[in-house]
Amino acid sequence: MTLAPIDHALAEAHRRFTEANPASRRQFEANAEFMPGGNTRSVLFYAPFPLTIARGEGAALWDADGHRYADFIAEYTAGVYGHSAPEIREAVIEAMQGGVNLTGHNLLEGRLARTIRERFPQVERLRFTNSGTEANLMALTAALHFTGRRRIVVFSGGYHGGVLGFGDQPLPTTVPFDFLVLPYNDAETARARIAEQASQIAAVLVEPMQGAAGCIPGQADFLRALREAATAAGALLVFDEVMTSRLGPRGLANQLGIRADLTTLGKYIGGGMSFGAFGGRADVMAQFDPRTGALAHSGTFNNNVMTMAAGQAGLTQLFTPEAAGALAERGEALRARLNALGAKEGVALQFTGVGSLMNAHFLQGEVRRVADLAAVDGRLRQLLFFHLLNAGIYTSPRGFVVLSLPLGDADIERYVAAIGGFIAEYRALLPALG
């Protein structure tokens, strides 16, 4: 059977990749003896096998075969500081010298909590977790108990952690809460459905920009409608800012002027260590006060000294509000250049997103919700991924692009040039602008 042109191109890309990466292939096959598919983190797998990353420094990565890459995925937004930032490394070493597992309140946790509250003023009180997934689970638990209700409004395409993912319905790995799944960026439908089920709804959980769905920005009128509808229903509005808190000096929701009842955080705020946090209104969070509250919240490593120290160093020495704003502006400029390049070349390739996060999509027209991406040929994203690897650029097979602080101007120019090279090489396979 003769392969279609795009399948042939992808098969050739796989062949080149396999020949160039024998050490990564051997490592993958060895790992598969102990882990299903040699994998313990699904997002990192791609066919024919994933690269094994051996080390990182600044904005550079090296794989097991010695190839160097400019890192344009930055640990799926957690790596805003790059790799092995001296300020963070020194803070962690200093903390470890005082003991790693202290079995009690420590000198560092309150300091980080204060810094986070100062940075995100909607978070009046907060608690730490080990991941954004945990943070979202605990925020929902708080909302259920506070309201005495059971239903949670979420949105198609939403991703709130490994056990909180949604298509038109909850994904098979999603915890069995009572969910009402609505279309993203549809203010009219959200208002109507929340109003008709107001007495049952405990919480509205939403990303101000859907990250895993393809960097789809929430429209201001939609997010304001959720604020109004939740208030009218007596429900809590929960903003998942695990990703989006890095998209402005004080988070994306604050930049939009919309205040949630609860906010969840994670990723970069722990300085590259395992981290999550949830917080917001003092009266809601008082449920977790062990002196008076009804809810317990445990976690051996919630206040571990390495994360507490790394997070403080990162937020105060590196990713300051000023640095966050500058990185967001840099991302806006890059996305504008990339979209102008696609338009100039007459191909339907656009980059959606906000600030330092963006995603490549092979289609034209506005992207308002995940359903708008149904027509995208996933093979083109794969082809782009392998083309970028060949150019020494490490991104994601789904087209996700993440900027970090140490990425230099030369890296940015290299990425733009690589996109231009991709268009030139595969123009015949790409959808044309209508």
Q: For residue 104, what pLDDT is reported? A: 96
Reading the block at residue 57, the tokens are: 């420094």
Residue carrying the six token digits 């991709």: 422
> Which of 379, 416, 294, 386 is closest to 50 using CA atoms?
386
Catalytic: 240?
yes
CA 121/CA 145 separation, integer angstroms: 24
pLDDT tens sequence across 163-216: 999 999 999 999 999 999 999 999 999 999 999 999 999 999 999 999 999 999
Two tokens at 329? 């502006």
What is the β-pairing status of strands 236-240 and 262-266?
parallel
Q: Chain-wide mean pLDDT for the chain?
A: 97
346 backbone φψ class: left, alpha, beta (φ>0; ψ -120 to 50)? left
- pLDDT, average across residues 233-260: 97
CA dihedral 423, 425, 431, 434 (to 10 degrees): 60
Which residue, among 353, 358, 369, has the nearest Cα to 185 in the 3D structure?
Answer: 369
From the candidates 184, 267, 394, 415, give the one annotated as an active-site residue: 267
* Residue 74 in tokens: 């930055």
Q: Is 267 a catalytic residue?
A: yes
Give the CA radius of gyration of the chain: 22
Report how far residue 51's alpha carbon sits from residue 392's, in angstroms, rounded to the nearest whole number: 13
1 pLDDT above the threshold of 90: no
pLDDT tens per residue across span 38-90: 999 999 999 999 999 999 999 999 999 999 999 999 999 999 999 999 999 99
Q: Evaluate whether 273 touches 93 at the Cβ level (below 8 Å).
A: no
Longest Cα–Cα distance of the chain, Å, equals 71
Contacts of 371 (CB under 8 A, 6+ apart): 156, 157, 183
Check 63, 71, 81, 159 and give the catalytic one: 159
CA distances from 24 to 27, 33, 43, 390 (A): 5, 15, 17, 15
Distance, CA of 268 to CA of 247 (rounded, Å) = 12
**pLDDT tens per residue across span 373-425:** 999 999 999 999 999 999 999 999 999 999 999 999 999 999 999 999 999 99
Model's pTM, two decimal places? Answer: 0.97
pLDDT band at 98 (very low <50, low <70, confident <90, very high): very high
The rounded distance, in Å, linking the Cα atoms of 147 and 323 is: 38
Q: What is the pLDDT of residues 225-236, one digit of tens each?
A: 999 999 999 999
- pLDDT number for residue 2: 63
List, in order, residues 6 or more apart from 248 with CB less than 8 Å away.
254, 255, 324, 325, 328, 355
State how far the Cα of 294 lies from the Cα of 286, in Å rounded to an integer.
9
The catalytic residue among 240, 261, 372, 411 is 240
Catalytic status, residue 344: no
pLDDT in tens, 99-132: 999 999 999 999 999 999 999 999 999 999 999 9
Percentages (nearest 5) of helix, strand, coil residues in the chain:
45, 20, 35
